[in-house]
Each structure stands twice: as structure tokens, then as C-alpha cells.
Amino acid sequence: MNKFGLEFHHIGLATDNFELTLKILKKLGYKTKSIKFNKNYNVKNAICISKTHPTIEIVSKKSGKSVIDNILKKNKQLVYHICYICDNFKECYKKFKKNNIEIIKISKSYISPFEKVDSSFFYINGIGIIEIFDRKIK
């Protein structure tokens, strides 16, 4: 994705059991960098980091409706998105279009509680769901 001006940021892991997932990741050598509540999506998030493995964001629903309800109906845990960060999403978008890659925005933009930059979710046919952080918009 570097060709498009995107740097890998994390893998999004939806879970119905936040504590269990966190416990297992700790056993695998991950450390919790930060835990936040995302009011935009009604989910609890934790960024888990490792010296040797990709960063993982744990996403667990709070009470009431959340954006991961449909994912958790069929799966107790599921990797469901890859997140990238860029310096200017408009430029990245132009590169996707130039390469005939359809990218469809599937969420409203919001300020990420972790990076304090604009965040949006997109669908790319053949890839799936990606999240993009845009450093240009803070």
C-alpha cells in the first residue's frame, strides 16, 4: 500500500470478550499501549503492541448497539479490518482511482481517540474493509 501513500497501522480484531482477548494477546507477548472508549461506534478499544508482531486493535462492544454487532452475531472473534495511516487522503484516493481500484467510503469520518487524526472506513472489492487515518485532518 506504500505505492498509494499508506503506511500500515494496525489490524482490527472484533471480540465479544475483551478481557479474554487481552489476556491471550498478553500471553503472546503483546503489551497494552492504550485503552479508550469510542463513543462514535459505542465500542471499547485497546491498542496492543509487540516488538515482533503487527499492532492489533481490540474492538469490543459496550452495552446497546454498536458497529460490530453483525460481526459478532456470526463470530465471537474476528479480524475484520486493516488500518493504514497517510499524510493526505485526497492524494491517496487519486492514486486508487488512477489504478482503477474502487474504494467506497462506508462510515462517517471522526477523530480517532488514539491518533487524534481523521479516521474513516472504506470497502475495497478484493480486499475488504480498511480504515484510513489522515494526518492532514486533525
Taking the whole predicted model, whether its pTM rises above 0.75 is answered as yes
**CA torsion sign, 14 to 17 to 46 to 117?**
positive
pLDDT at 138: 60
Segments of the chain with pLDDT less than 50: none
CB-based contacts of 98: which residues, under 8 Å, 6+ apart?
A: none
Mean pLDDT in the chain?
93
What is the tens place of the pLDDT at every residue in 38-52? 888 889 999 999 999
Q: What are 129's three cell numbers?
A: 474493509
pLDDT at 41: 85
pLDDT at 20: 97
Residue keyed to cell 480517532: 112
The structural domains of the chain, ordered by start, are 2-109+123-134 (3.10.180.10)
Cα distances (Å, whole numbers) of residue 6 to 51, 92, 118, 120, 131: 21, 7, 14, 14, 11
